[in-house]
Structure 1
Amino acid sequence: MKMVIAVVQDKDSGRLSQMLVKSGFRATKLASTGGFLRAGNTTFLIGTSDESVQDVIDIISQSCKSRKQMVTPVSPLGNAVDSFMPYPLEVQVGGAAVFVLDVESFHSF
């Protein structure tokens, strides 16, 4: 048995959730926040058989697309530095960070 952990951007979470249910996979969704952009994410916990891991990864890759976004960086020291002039940066957002872990045992009560 495997645990697939997928951290996806909130914009992609609804589509991913629907595709997982449609394909017969159940998942637990957790609200999470990214550290760099401080943007909303959704973390999916998906328990599945070893044989179905690639199917889950395929669904995630079809549902979660990366895109570019302009962001203004936050001052490295908060508001303490008056001379810090942030310039907008183009960064890649979206997509998914996927981790696959071995599950030693599973219990349902």
Structure 2
Amino acid sequence: MTALAVTITHEPARTILTLDGELDMVSSARLTDTIDAALYGGRQHLVVDVSNLTFCDSAGIWALLRAERTVSAAGGTLELANVQGILKRVLDLTGAARAFRIITPGQLTSP
């Protein structure tokens, strides 16, 4: 079984979801549920910090893409933060990176 922990940090203008562990077919429902709960709670500007992901398969990529569509359809925005390593390579090679606004670590730091 894969483990994915999601830490939620609410800031005045955005909610940061920090993923820790593996994002795959088994754990992607946790991301989906967290996104849905944030939207239901009125949070529309979401940042998904992927710096602590240890693994992400194609189901994880699809979960991120679905999350972006869901948030956009609700009138919000979803950004990815700290995209690096193999995840960055896969997003770039597949063209999926174009679906997201990708922010740098400095942009994630609160003002």
Q: Same fold (TM over 0.5)?
A: no
Give the TM-score taking structure 2 as reference length: 0.31
Instruction: Using CA pairs under 8 Å that are at least 6 residues apart, name the structure with larger relative contact order, 1 or 2.
Output: 1
Computing the radius of gyration from Cα coordinates, the structure with the larger value is 1
More helix as a share of residues = 2
